[in-house]
Amino acid sequence: MSAVCFGNMVAPPWELLCSSCWFTFKLTRTFFFFLFRCVCCPMCTPGYYVRNDCTSTDITICRPCTVSTFTDEPNGRRNCSACVVCEQDLGLKTVKECKPSADTVCGALEGNYCIDPYEGGCRAAQKHTTCKPGHFIKHPGTEYNDTVCENCTGNYFSNGSSLSCTPHTR
């Protein structure tokens, strides 16, 4: 677990770093101070959420994320986030399954390319362009790039599925 703040501190309320604090007033000869006493609640580790916050006498109680939910960093959250579902209808496939400490990672299905890359995965994909007759495939589509088609010139032709143009016969 990671701590949220540290011990006693003297600070105005807008600079407060603690999650649970009590304050008292302290008057010196020329200045009036707020003395803050903080209870530093430990954060839950990735894969867990806060079931009960700490108090001055009890520790933070963390519970594991349930199936299809996750937290991927130390947190003070009251619930876990829902895992992403990789929709085949959107041209996506699951590359890494969701686990309590990490979200699902999606990738582009075969025949598709990613149009919305995100943290090593993909949030949306689209079908590769199909070259039309009279065009050839200059660069085949990849997971992150669409197919590049180019016109056949002069006395050359292609049905659209070739990597080059073929000369017309006479």
User: What number of residues does the chain have?
Assistant: 170
**Interval 108-117: pLDDT, tens:** 999 999 999 9
What CATH number matches the domain at 8-82, 2.10.50.10, 2.170.190.11, 3.40.50.150, 2.40.30.30? 2.10.50.10
Q: Is the pLDDT of residue 152 over 70?
A: yes
Q: Does domain 88-127 have CATH number 3.40.50.10240?
A: no
CB atoms within 10 A of CB 48: 22
Give yes or no for a contact between 36 and 21, defined as CB atoms under 8 angstroms apart: yes
Q: Is the pLDDT of residue 119 over 70?
A: yes
**Which residues in the chain are classed under CATH 2.10.50.10?**
8-82, 88-127
Strand 48-52 and strand 61-64: the pairing is antiparallel
**Interval 65-113: pLDDT, tens:** 999 999 999 999 999 999 999 999 999 999 999 999 999 999 999 999 9
**Interval 2-56: pLDDT, tens:** 333 434 333 334 333 344 443 444 445 555 555 555 567 788 999 999 999 887 7
pLDDT at 168: 84
